[in-house]
Structure 1
Amino acid sequence: MSRSANESDFRVGLEPLDAEVDADLEVTGEVPTWLTGTLVRNGAARWTARPGGQGQRLRHWFDGLAMLHRFAFRGGGVRYSNRYLRSRAYEHAVEHGRIGYTEFGTVPRRTPLQRLRELTSPPVFGNNASVNVMRLGERYVALTESPDVVPFDPVTLATGEPLSYADDVPGVVTPVHFHADADRGVLVNYTVEYGRTSAYHLYELPDPAAGAPTRRLVATVPVDRPSYMHTFSVTQRYVVLAEYPYVADPLALLLGRAPVDAYRWRPERGTRFTVVDRASGAVVARPVSDATFCWHQVGATEDGDALLLDLPVMEGGRAMRQFLLSELQGDGVRAPAGELRRFRVPLDGGPVTHRLLSATPIEFPRTADERVGAVVRRVYGVSSAESLSTSFADRLVEVDVETGAARSWSQPGCWPGEPVHVADPGSRGPDADAVLLSLVLDARARRSFLLVLDAATFTERARAQVPHAIPLGFHGQYFPELG
């Protein structure tokens, strides 16, 4: 890194972590004894191809080599372990001192002949799966925005063999946020195909057995310039894609440019809401609204002849480039949080309308009920102090979407990550016990801790001290079956 972090700076979270440990953590406070599962977090941990700052330097926060972090709960205690995800992309980087596959902001070094060959084939993205994790049948897998997933052992964090789909659904990019439709027993997602004619390919994935998973194509939606959509929404009957005007130049990708350089902000296009019927695969509506951008959608519900989408939106001109490492090391860093709005998307051709749900900005939104089409009242996420014009997210928030009221937790010099809601499986009703789990970087101590926050009172119940500073990461999931 070109700039050293001061004692309370979030940039401590951009320093590499090479140590891999397995240890019981010191706990202050009381971890609920009903918390007996495992939280697995994912994120980047090094921005050079080799340890010690050696090898090719990577340009973007999203490019860093993936590391998994495991927090196992039992009897009020917490055991922590972490390991690099030894994917094909990781092994190539370490062996050769340079990346071998295109990352979000960095491309491999190529010979002229290699560049010429790439003109006749789609771009190849690697499997440096640093963004999310999920359960896929009996496997646990790490995810990035290429279709291949990387299995890992949820106890040892050892990396398994890469897993490819046993089908011919085209596309080289896919969101890392699958939607689980428990009623139908399927996962819902889509891929993006780049070319002279680009397209979104929506699919459903039945719960796979031990073999290679097989996707079922639901719909193909042609598009001239694919939008960058990190998330999308699903209801019982529809898939809705919010096509923000952050759009790709397919030729630039085919010529080998990194996505951060191949996408452009085109506000004149507006935001197009593409609604697809899950049963027929037909596009039933495609209205256009104001230009905006959103990283993480809260979700969508059906409301008569319309869909309601809750989106933390922001101006999109610098949505991708603000996370270049050169930008993050500068003085103009903006907190990555959006204005929470509810969009009403009519299915009869009428105009899209929206209204503000809360004055509190929010990012990495999570809810207590993440079922397809669920109606939720409270949204949890990260935010920043209103008095800060430039910073990273420095607090956890709860937003009531009915009243707009918000509560927050913060501590000076601390930078929390995505909160994961976990409820006591033995209690039911409005008074059921529940907590939020958030990995917090304590920049002053140059260490991280796992915060256990009471979901009802929004006060700290416990924290488990990690022996090192964990780089700022992305997403995590709680697996109750891993007790």
Structure 2
Amino acid sequence: MSVETGLSKHTANGLNINTTYKSCKHLVQKMKEESIEESRRVWIRSTDKATTTPVKGNVDGIIPQWLEGDLYRDGPGVLNIGDTWYHHIFDGMAVLHKFSIKGGETTYRSRILESDSYKKNSAANRIVVNEFGTRAYPDPCKTILQKFMSRFSLPDFEDTTDNCAVNVCFFGDQLFAMTETNKMRRVSPDDLKTIGEKTNVTRYVAVNMATAHPHVDPDGTVYNMGNSYTSAKGPTYNIVLTPFDQASVVASIPCRWKMKPCYYHSYSITDNYFILVEQPLGISLPKLLTGHYTKKSFMQSMEWLPKEKTRFRVVRRSDGVVVKTVYQADTFFTFHAINAYEEDGHLIVDLCCFDDGSVVNQIWLENIVNPTEAFNKSLQAMPRRFVALDVSQASVDRNLVALRDTKCQAFKLNTGAIQCVPEDLSPAWMEMPRINYRLNGKKYRYIYGFIPTLCKVDTESKEVLRWEGPGFQVSEPIFVERPGATEEDDGVVLASLINEKSTVGGSRRQDFSSSLWRPSRHTESSPRSSTASSPDPVTTFTGTETHETAHSSIHEQ
């Protein structure tokens, strides 16, 4: 699979992207005229308004008195600017959401992120800033000479998008919206207003791109990982320690492919190690640097390398040294790390795994409206466990995993590399995994995600517990532990829901719901939900990547 061809010729269904540029608007009309499954219909809706004044929700059930704080969410919610439409599910302008819970009640508010990208697009009344899978639309008012000069002028790397629609994270007491470029936007935890100018991470530390999924230590230290393309030794994956005014690179991992550093969305951390999955979805630097001239999107610079193995790059936290042992597995692709931990000399890494990188080239709005077999298959990520260990003296072709209660295997090859054979943690696929973050980097048992219903996976018994509401589209779930809990799953799961049929005051605007689920094996598994009316008809599938304290998905008041 060559992702680079995804926009010029859609390999799944022969869709020419030039047609999509002209017809995305008609997708909306098509959905109004035809019977489209509700769970897909909500993904194509766009918003141009915000709920800036908190709206009180109607509580169905009981919200525990101990549950108090703010749940922040982020995701692409503005899908069109004027008559121009975004094409990839990653590309819409960011919409921030805030659910406040106190005294058994909940309120909701939202706001469109006032990024430079959003303001430029709005001023032009069309898409003028490139996103992951959508190139800026040409200016119809430009002369042929102006278009020529624009195309062959030098690219401005300061002008990468600050449309931070992937995640939100607290750095100290400051809340930031994040994306996968080198830009971040600070927002007010109170009213979600955008504060000040954008933060360019490159000005503080040597990274040209960064993940939107940092890790937060119990002491509040924030680590993140990003690519650097400017090193004299070639591109590197840099692990960065914040805060920004004291930012430093604590480790640099040399890229396996010098001209095609891999794309990654997240990484793992344990008490003693950082773990990066170096997967064979490469970012072609020549194509990335010439995209300004060739009018290609960032996604079109990506290439799937099917003959390459997926590797686990392991770094010691104590000194930043990259472990020399090559840990590898048969080719797979991942967006989201679930967790990782150490046990009896073994390094356990859990991930949501796709068979290949085709999912990146399938999640177009067109495919959501008209799903193909390839599209449906590409979404199925299996939660899998890999085990790596120090086996420098081990014999060849013998299973080296000595842990009980696991089917994972690891073999030393003649090359000295360790081939890791995974175990499925669930019989069902799932994505957007979350855990009890108190156990991040430590041995744990339960995973929460969606398949696409909300689910809880027991990694020991492989049991899957599900919750669903007819017609609702669920978001990434967030587990909040009950104060004083002694069991890992003693708490509640929070998720935002959207229903196509619900209305506000008889208008065509849609309701949001915030589902509160008690999935503990010690309590009933029925849903507890609160619903807050909202004029924001958008689906938000991303959220926070922070833990329960001052940096919490439920931010303690």
User: When the two structures are aligned, how many residues end up with a matched partner?
Assistant: 461
What is the deviation of 1:358?
1.5
| Corresponding residue to 1:405 among 443, 447, 463 | 463
The unaligned stretches of length 5 or more in structure 1 are: 384-392
The one-letter amino acid of 2:90's match is: F
Cα shift readout 1:69-116 (whole Å, capped 9, x = no counterpart): 111111111111111010111111111223444311122357443443
Is 2:455 the counterpart of 1:455? no
The one-letter amino acid of 1:4's match is: M
Q: Secondary structure of the residue that 1:201 maps to in structure 2?
A: strand
Please name the residue that 1:344 is paired with. Answer: 387
Please name the residue that 1:279 is paired with. Answer: 318
The one-letter amino acid of 2:240's match is: Y
What is the deviation of 1:269?
0.8
What is the deviation of 1:408?
0.4
Cα shift readout 1:403-428 (whole Å, capped 9, x = no counterpart): 11111011222221111111222x32
The one-letter amino acid of 1:59's match is: H
Task: Provide the C-alpha distance between the structure 2 equivalents of 1:458 and 1:318, rounded to a whole number of angstroms.
Answer: 35
Q: After alignment, is 74-83 or 273-282 more displaced? A: 273-282
- Length-normalised TM-score, structure 2: 0.78
Task: Provide the C-alpha distance between the structure 1 equivalents of 2:43 and 2:157, rounded to a whole number of angstroms.
Answer: 34
Task: Provide the C-alpha distance between the structure 2 equivalents of 1:103 and 1:38, rounded to a whole number of angstroms.
Answer: 29
Shift in CA distance, 235/164, structure 1 to aligned 2, threshold 3 Å = same
Aligned-residue CA RMSD (Å): 2.3
Task: Provide the C-alpha distance between the structure 2 equivalents of 1:273 and 1:9, rounded to a whole number of angstroms.
Answer: 35
Task: Provide the C-alpha distance between the structure 2 equivalents of 1:464 and 1:107, rounded to a whole number of angstroms.
Answer: 37
Is 2:359 the counterpart of 1:359? no
Q: After alignment, is 34-43 or 452-461 more displaced? A: 452-461
Per residue, is there more helix in 1 or in 2?
A: 2
Shift in CA distance, 406/191, structure 1 to aligned 2, threshold 3 Å = same
Mapping for residues 235-384 of structure 1, pairs under 5 Å: 235-256=270-291, 257-284=296-323, 285-332=325-372, 333-334=375-376, 336-348=379-391, 349-383=417-451
**Contact 1:312–1:337 under 8 Å retained in 2:** no
Task: Provide the C-alpha distance between the structure 1 equivalents of 2:380 and 2:422, rounded to a whole number of angstroms.
Answer: 18
What is the deviation of 1:480?
4.4
Task: Provide the C-alpha distance between the structure 2 equivalents of 1:240 and 1:475, rounded to a whole number of angstroms.
Answer: 22
Shift in CA distance, 432/400, structure 1 to aligned 2, threshold 3 Å = closer
Task: Provide the C-alpha distance between the structure 1 equivalents of 2:265 and 2:93, rounded to a whole number of angstroms.
Answer: 19
The one-letter amino acid of 1:105's match is: G
**Contact 2:448–2:477 under 8 Å retained in 1:** yes
Task: Provide the C-alpha distance between the structure 1 equivalents of 2:153 and 2:252, rounded to a whole number of angstroms.
Answer: 28
- Length-normalised TM-score, structure 1: 0.89
Cα shift readout 1:306-340 (whole Å, capped 9, x = no counterpart): 31111111122422121122222222242734111
Greater CA radius of gyration, 1 or 2? 2
What is the deviation of 1:432?
8.0
Q: Secondary structure of the residue that 1:269 maps to in structure 2?
A: coil
**Contact 1:272–1:288 under 8 Å retained in 2:** yes
Shift in CA distance, 299/118, structure 1 to aligned 2, threshold 3 Å = farther
Task: Provide the C-alpha distance between the structure 1 equivalents of 2:342 and 2:135, rounded to a whole number of angstroms.
Answer: 41
The unaligned stretches of length 5 or more in structure 2 are: 1-24, 139-146, 392-416, 503-509, 545-551
**Contact 1:169–1:201 under 8 Å retained in 2:** no
What is the deviation of 1:168?
4.6
Shift in CA distance, 339/123, structure 1 to aligned 2, threshold 3 Å = farther
Task: Provide the C-alpha distance between the structure 1 equivalents of 2:45 and 2:489, rounded to a whole number of angstroms.
Answer: 39
Please name the residue that 2:175 is paired with. Answer: 140
**Contact 1:45–1:471 under 8 Å retained in 2:** yes
What is the deviation of 1:228?
1.4
Q: After alignment, is 191-200 or 83-92 more displaced? A: 191-200
Moved over 4 A (4+): 121-124, 165-168, 478-482
| Corresponding residue to 1:11 among 30, 41, 48 | 41
Task: Provide the C-alpha distance between the structure 1 equivalents of 2:153 and 2:438, rounded to a whole number of angstroms.
Answer: 44
